[in-house]
Amino acid sequence: MDIQGLAKEVLASIGGAQNVVSDEICMTRLRLVLADVSKVDETRIDSLRGVLGTSRRGDSGLEIVFGPRTVERTFRAFESLRRQKPSAKGPDDEAVAQPAEKGVPAPAATHAIRHRAEPQDRMSESDVDTLKSLLGDIAGDAATEGPRLLVVNGPNLNMLGIREPSLYGSTTYSELVERCQRTARACGFVECRCYQSNHEGDLVDEIQRAWKTFDGIVLNPAAYTHTSVALLDALKAVAIPTVEVHITKVDEREDFRQVSYVREACFETIAGEGIEGYEHAIRDLARKVLR
Ligand code: DQA
């Protein structure tokens, strides 16, 4: 999707131009204040290529995280869409256009828009973490041609570094993302999207979205390994070469961890190599996909 398309999708997913009270850029985020946050479709926003995440801010704020290169261009496209007069819209704008609503402020006329980060917007530690993990996204952002890698992590893997360190180690999830992106780039992938969710359906959605978009998948389904036929079916449906990864030696753990539903749809399983297992999987996928 090009930047114009991305901006249109973002605008449509937040309830259209008349729902935007104000917008600004903060670091790699588009920071929005909305008239009615219930109109936000976060699942749709999260599914957009170029969007790395969303977070709520207070009662009416929403932040959408982009890669460092994407944010400025998306903001400019978003701004010009917001300011378009309804009469000027063409057929393509249908997805963005919304019927006018009573009591909702007109965005451009009544609200000042700040384009620059203010002093109080100095980077917090979490912004620094986000930026660090996103820097690896630059290559994928700029390059459009070439093999793309999707790394999917299931429930509780966002707690890496905190969660049972004697089993899972001290590496955090954002460090894992950084390492995957570095390895993927070194192996020749032009994009490495890292996705984590605690929800089975979201993981299924993400795998489905990979169809015709990604060339290889590294998947640690975590606890869903041992229960999810839905994940197995999603992998079979998209038929993308996939490596199953487990940080621990699942085969040597409890009986209930001895079953893996997804294994049938994966060409390899790597278990017990810690975080390095992801890098091993990326190298093996590169050999298979880039041949
Ligand atoms: C895991 C093993 C699973 O049994 C467990 O539920 C996880 C992580 C691993 O990486 O070792 O959450 O997939």
Give the structural domain span for 14.
Answer: 3-142
Among 115-119, 184-188, 247-251, the range scoring the smallest mean pLDDT is 115-119
- Predicted local distance difference test score (pLDDT) of residue 9: 93
Could you tell me if 278 and 156 lie in one domain?
yes
Residue where a domain stops, chosen among 127, 142, 157 = 142
Whether 75 and 174 share a structural domain: no
For the chain, how many structural domains are there in total? 2
Which one is catalytic: 195, 246, 261, 278?
A: 246
Question: Quick one: which of 186, 190, 195, 252 has its CA closest to 218?
Answer: 195
CATH of the domain at 14: 3.30.1360.60
Query: Mean of the pLDDT values across residues 211-240?
Result: 97
Which of 142, 169, 186 terminates a domain? The answer is 142
Alpha helix segments (H runs only) across 84-159: 107-110, 125-135, 137-142
Say yes or no: 238 and 268 in one domain.
yes
Determine how β-strand 51-57 pairs with β-strand 61-66. Answer: antiparallel
- The predicted pLDDT at position 21 comes to 85
Tokens of 194: 């890292």
Instruction: Say whether both 99 and 218 belong to one domain.
Output: no
Burial of 52 (0-12, 13-18, 19+ CB in 10 A): buried
Active site residue 168: yes
d(CA 98, CA 266): 44
In tens, the pLDDT along 143-175 reads 457 899 999 999 999 999 999 999 999 999 999
CB of residue 250 inside a 6 A radius of ligand 1: yes
- pLDDT at position 103 is 41
Task: Quote the ligand 1 centre to 164 CA distance (angstroms).
Answer: 11
Global confidence as pTM: 0.57
Q: What CATH number is attached to the domain comprising 249?
A: 3.40.50.9100
**Eight-state DSSP code of residue 169:** -
Ligand 1 center to residue 91 CA distance, Å? 48
Residue 280 and residue 156 share a domain: yes
Mean pLDDT (the chain) is 82
Q: Between 223 and 146, whose confidence is greater?
A: 223
Decide whether any atom of ligand 1 lies within 6 Å of the 198 Cβ: no
Regarding the beta carbon of 288 and ligand 1, being less than 6 Å apart is answered no
Q: Using CA atoms, how far apart are residues 201 and 90, in angstroms rounded to an integer?
A: 35
Helix (H) or strand (E) holding 149: strand 148-153
**pLDDT band, very low/low/confident/very high, at 95 (cuts 50, 70, 90):** very low
- Give yes or no: residues 207 and 77 share one domain: no
